[in-house]
Structure 1
Amino acid sequence: METEEILDLLRQAADEVIIPRFRALSEDQVQEKSPGDLVTVADREAEIFLTKRLQDAYPDAAVLGEEATSIDPRVLERASQAPHVFTIDPVDGTRNFVEGSPDYAVMVGEVRNGQTVRSWIYQPQHQRAYVAEAGAGAWCNGKRIKPLNPPADPARLVGATSNRKLLKQPPQGLAPLEEAWWSCGIDYPRLAGGEVDFLVYKNDWPWDHVPGALLVAEVGGATGRLDGSAYDLVTRRPWVLTTASRQVMGPVGAALAAVVG
């Protein structure tokens, strides 16, 4: 499928399944997968919709959906061994969605032989669509996003996180971190647009980070671990760092690692 055709699938899922439930969820349409981790009927139905359409178009590809994985963790293991994978986060920022905040997104990433080649982030309430293709650039609503130009001095960088420990205990050598938007589908585009210079997360689920990491890479940024090693679809361990340039990843990662251990 062409890049625009897959973006149309995200829009269709939002229009038909997600937006009609926005600020209209009944109590029985919201559940907890684990304490504090919410899922709604919109998450489940949107993922089913996107999975079917992608599998119809790419029958040999693995589809790694957040909700399917929460039911059967073997989905993640199978996808990690597949040469062609689509990641799906049907409603990224579910808590925001449940609370009536417009800061949520639909996200899909495409990975071939371990490398992310295309990604899509659609923010239904903001009517913004972000698309990235490896080596070809990143766009917002059809307009190419300009390369990032962050400060070289780590102390001048603006960082954001949802991790309470880092918000309360600023890393030495860095400015106090701001609170992120509680949705990777909002966070990553804000970094790509130059509103913040780095993002740090404790959880490293592929459906959260694969789409945004490519978006940021295509405007000059980088995503990896606090020790500077690469982020990938297969490896699971805490902490993911995305910076507006690879040059600042070392000092920022070291400062954060000194706090979180």
Structure 2
Amino acid sequence: MSLTENVAALMRRVAAHEVMPRFRTLATDEIAEKSPGEVVTTADRESEQRLSEGLEALGLGARIVGEEAASRDPALLDRVGEGLVWLVDPLDGTANFAAGHGPFGMMVALVEDGVPLAGWMLDPQSGRLCHAERGKGAWCDGARVNARTSGSARPVAALATQFMSTAWRERVHASARRRFAQVPIPRCAAESYPRLVFGSNDVALFQRILPWDHAPGVLFLTEAGGHATHWNRAPYRVGGEGAGLLVAADARHWEVAAELLLVPGGALIDMETRAA
């Protein structure tokens, strides 16, 4: 099998054996708080272990940086933008999973010197697998896909502002309301990016950009024809100095959002400067 097929098969096996059997069956002692407001489950830990073992067995010689390993040893992120690296999010949307509902997903990316080369996002509930390769395109369940917009008169925006201060968050949403219809975020990046490609959302905003949450999704979106940059308008890079992400189903919707949020004095740039 090709690398793409091997990784996809590995993810499906791990989802079938470690994730879905625990969905809605977690015991109290299988859910823990790893940081204030953030939970981890047995499914996260076991899935990351199985994924890491499987990726190691592929023999690429890439370092493996998983979400749970990095939570135990933050030094793993010190050189995440250097060399060949596997990024692993074994259970994206853990809070949803622990609460007994979706969406939740599994994400893997292969990155070289901070540039995503390939990415996979699996929805364990539906079996939907989104995949992209740098310079080669994006696929869903083996079919080539191109990003499409919602077609709504007021484009649809999902803004992940939950980690901002109250004042900052209110200003961002007030600015966005001038041009966009805002919808709740799915609290799962493995769902956020497909929504942009498949016409549910036109724009998304992220403040916290942990690499395993975004490397697969940004690659999938951009290879499908969407647009993504850091808030300083620089191209997305794992381990780089760029803050936040503004992403959209196409360049036109990105420009509309950027005019509201990324210009000098805008809701993001101005407040980011004040916070610095």
Structure 2-normalised TM-score?
Answer: 0.86
- Once the two structures are superposed, residues 46-81 of structure 1 have per-residue CA deviations (whole angstroms, 9 ceiling, x without a partner) of 011111111222352111111111110111113322
Q: How many Å separate the matches in 1 of 2:131 and 2:242?
A: 27
Q: How many Å separate the matches in 1 of 2:76 and 2:17?
A: 26
* 2:81 is the alignment partner of 1:80: yes
SS in 1 for 2:267: helix
Q: How many Å separate the matches in 2 of 1:57 and 1:44?
A: 21
Alignment correspondent of 1:188: 193
Q: How many Å separate the matches in 2 of 1:222 and 1:64?
A: 26
Q: How many Å separate the matches in 2 of 1:219 and 1:97?
A: 28
Alignment correspondent of 1:18: 19
The 8 Å contact of residues 172 and 255 in structure 1, kept in 2 or not, is answered as: no
1:259 aligned to 257, 262, 267, which one? 267
Between the aligned residues of both structures, percent identity stands at 33
Q: How many Å separate the matches in 2 of 1:211 and 1:66?
A: 14
Alignment correspondent of 1:163: 161
Post-superposition shift, 1:182?
0.7
Unmatched runs of 5 consecutive residues or more in structure 2? 163-168, 272-276
* 218-227 vs 251-260, which moves further: 251-260
Alignment correspondent of 1:115: 115
The 8 Å contact of residues 150 and 245 in structure 1, kept in 2 or not, is answered as: no
- Once the two structures are superposed, residues 10-56 of structure 1 have per-residue CA deviations (whole angstroms, 9 ceiling, x without a partner) of 11111111111100001111111111111101101101111111122
Unmatched runs of 5 consecutive residues or more in structure 1? none
The 1:114–1:78 alpha-carbon spacing in structure 2 relative to 1, beyond 3 Å, is: closer
Alignment correspondent of 1:28: 29
The 1:215–1:76 alpha-carbon spacing in structure 2 relative to 1, beyond 3 Å, is: same
- Once the two structures are superposed, residues 207-238 of structure 1 have per-residue CA deviations (whole angstroms, 9 ceiling, x without a partner) of 00000001101111122122311221112564
Post-superposition shift, 1:120?
0.5
The 1:25–1:172 alpha-carbon spacing in structure 2 relative to 1, beyond 3 Å, is: closer
Alignment correspondent of 2:228: 223
CA RMSD of aligned residues (A): 2.1
Which amino acid is 2:76 matched to? V
Q: How many Å separate the matches in 2 of 1:2 and 1:73?
A: 28
The 8 Å contact of residues 47 and 90 in structure 1, kept in 2 or not, is answered as: yes
Q: How many Å separate the matches in 2 of 1:180 and 1:74?
A: 30
* 251-260 vs 178-187, which moves further: 251-260
Which amino acid is 1:125 matched to? Q
Q: How many Å separate the matches in 2 of 1:169 and 1:37?
A: 27
The 1:172–1:100 alpha-carbon spacing in structure 2 relative to 1, beyond 3 Å, is: closer
Alignment correspondent of 2:205: 200
The 8 Å contact of residues 147 and 221 in structure 2, kept in 1 or not, is answered as: no
The 8 Å contact of residues 86 and 109 in structure 1, kept in 2 or not, is answered as: yes
Post-superposition shift, 1:123?
0.3
Which amino acid is 1:78 matched to? R
